[in-house]
């Protein structure tokens, strides 16, 4: 052979499409929403650091989801902003909490839509940490084991409201087991746990904390979220979550962590979800709004990269827009 002619298979759109190994469909995408408990039923407030994203009242969320479902939306991930916060995050597991209300509404209006709930306390605690603190704590040293009970209560209350999948994002040790046990005891043996198995302490979550009003009031999350200099820690978190009974793993953030996605993909058979987090979204949006990049092309390239790395699912704030533009069906 003269030499390798790689160009032979790149010569037309049709041929390139025929040879393409990696695809994305609406069945791979999950859209996050921020729903706020408010008396103003028309409340729709743009999130400054996430252009195109909003805090929505129940009614506004319903309108938004209606359009998105008509465009092919298959799955949502819900975050709640309660009216009142307290040190123990009691609105996270209140029967009539904002997420519980939202789940009931969406289930009734869109029975085919897959509803995933984020299970964490940080949007509900007055101090903004993901679990309980000792009185007087100013470092954010969340108490692990007593937090588990509240997370389990939260997950069960979401399942009772009708959630299809619960997604614990707190990074407490043993939460998957605690949640699995509590769900099973409450009669929800069929409710899957989509665990944020590998969640790094990341500056890419910055815009989200504006959106969810969940920034820690002091300290940071580095005593519970993972250190981004470590790869082996991801393997230990993976084994722990397999053993505790997680059904789907989330790896987060996504773009700077594709080595981690691939490593986990190669080591286990649990379906993976990559979370393209708020900062990743906002960086693309900011460049696009400046006219510096081709937005649609950059979004597709970044998402295909996550699929190539081994993610079945992608949680991305671009979902709604991609479906609306018809870029993904």
Q: Choose one: 109-117, 131-139, 155-163, 203-211; the region binding ligand PBG (CB under 6 A).
A: 203-211
Binders of ligand PBG among residues 250 to 289 (CB under 6 A) are 277-278
Smallest separation, CB 32 to ligand PBG (Å): 7
- Tell me: does residue 208 bind ligand PBG (CB under 6 A): yes
For residues 108 and 110, give the distance between their C-alpha atoms in angstroms, rounded to a whole number.
6
- The residue (of 278 and 302) whose beta carbon lies closer to ligand PBG is 278
Q: Choose one: 12-20, 58-66, 115-123, 133-141; the region binding ligand PBG (CB under 6 A).
A: 115-123
Site of tokens 């949006």: 285
- Tell me: does residue 205 bind ligand PBG (CB under 6 A): yes
Q: How many CB atoms are located within 10 Å of the residue 219 CB? A: 17
Q: Choose one: 14-22, 116-124, 187-195, 231-239; the region binding ligand PBG (CB under 6 A).
A: 116-124
Residue 180 CA to chain centroid, in angstroms?
Answer: 19
Structure tokens at 24: 């994305």
Looking at 74, 85, 153, 252, which residue is catalytic? Answer: 252
Site of tokens 């964490």: 120
Residue 329 CA to chain centroid, in angstroms?
Answer: 21
Give the helix ranges, DSSP H, for 162-205. 175-185
Give the helix ranges, DSSP H, for 2-132. 13-19, 58-70, 98-109
CB 73 within 8 A of CB 135: no
Among 61, 76, 119, 130, indicate the residue that binds ligand PBG (CB under 6 A).
130
Smallest separation, CB 212 to ligand PBG (Å): 7
Among 47, 122, 166, 313, indicate the residue that binds ligand PBG (CB under 6 A).
122
- The residue (of 147 and 169) whose beta carbon lies closer to ligand PBG is 169
Looking at 199, 285, 312, 325, which residue is catalytic? Answer: 199
Q: How many CB atoms are located within 10 Å of the residue 247 CB? A: 16
For residues 327 and 329, give the distance between their C-alpha atoms in angstroms, rounded to a whole number.
7
What amino acid positions are annotated as catalytic residues?
Answer: 199, 252
- Which residues of the shown chain bind ligand PBG in the complex (CB under 6 A)? 118, 120, 122, 130, 169, 205, 208-209, 221, 277-278
């Amino acid at each position: 052979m003269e030499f390798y002619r790689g160009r032979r298979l790149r010569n037309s759109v049709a041929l390139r499409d025929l040879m393409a190994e990696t695809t994305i469909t609406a069945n791979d995408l999950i859209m996050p929403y921020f729903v706020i408990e408010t008396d103003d039923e028309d409340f729709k407030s743009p999130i400054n650091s996430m252009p195109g994203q909003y805090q929505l009242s129940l009614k506004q969320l319903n309108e938004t989801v209606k359009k998105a479902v008509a465009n092919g939306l298959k799955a949502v991930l819900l975050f709640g902003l309660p009216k009142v916060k307290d040190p123990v995050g009691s609105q996270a597991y209140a029967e009539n909490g904002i997420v519980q209300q939202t789940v009931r509404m969406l289930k009734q209006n869109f029975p085919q839509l897959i509803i995933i709930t984020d299970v964490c306390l940080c949007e509900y605690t007055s101090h903004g940490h993901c679990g309980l603190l000792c009185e007087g704590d100013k470092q954010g040293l969340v108490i692990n084991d007593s937090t588990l009970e509240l997370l389990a209560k939260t997950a069960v209350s979401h399942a009772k409201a009708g959630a299809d999948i619960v997604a614990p994002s707190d990074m407490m040790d043993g939460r998957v087991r605690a949640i699995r046990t509590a769900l099973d005891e409450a009669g929800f043996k069929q409710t899957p746990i989509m665990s944020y198995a590998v969640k790094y302490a990341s500056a890419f979550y910055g815009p989200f904390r504006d959106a969810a009003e969940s920034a820690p009031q002091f300290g940071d999350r580095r005593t519970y979220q993972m250190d981004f200099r470590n790869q082996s820690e991801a393997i230990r978190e993976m084994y722990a979550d397999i053993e505790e009974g997680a059904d789907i793993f989330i790896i987060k953030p996504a773009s700077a962590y594709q080595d981690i996605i691939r490593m986990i993909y190669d080591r286990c058979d649990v379906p993976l979800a990559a979370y393209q987090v708020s900062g990743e979204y906002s960086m693309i949006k900011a460049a696009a709004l400046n006219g510096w990049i081709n937005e649609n092309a950059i979004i597709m390239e970044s998402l295909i990269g996550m699929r190539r790395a081994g993610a079945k699912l992608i949680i991305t704030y671009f979902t709604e827009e991609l479906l609306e533009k018809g870029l993904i069906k």
